Amino acid sequence: MKESEIRFFKPLWRRLALLSTALAWVAVELVFGSEIWLLASLCLVAYILWRYLLRFPAEGSDK
């Protein structure tokens, strides 16, 4: 990730807002029954969880 991207997503609330937006998209696709877009939005949620919550650099790291 670029340094500018890390600085933007450093506050936890921004990462959680990104995740909640993607989860809202999952809910919309689930309600309307669009299976392809549901799968796409679930993949996006998985990516956000992995990249921005689980693998995000810690506060004290020098990355």
Q: What is the pLDDT of residues 8-55, one digit of tens each?
A: 889 999 999 999 999 999 999 999 999 999 999 999 999 999 999 999
Q: What is the pLDDT of residue 16?
A: 97
Q: Residue 62 pLDDT > 70, yes or no? A: no
Q: What is the pLDDT of residue 33?
A: 93
Residue type, 37: W
Count of CA atoms in the C-beta half-sphere (13 A) of 4:
0
Q: Residue 5 pLDDT > 60, yes or no? A: yes
**Could you tell me how many residues make up the chain?**
63
> At 1, is the pLDDT very low, low, confident or very high (cuts 50, 70, 90)?
low
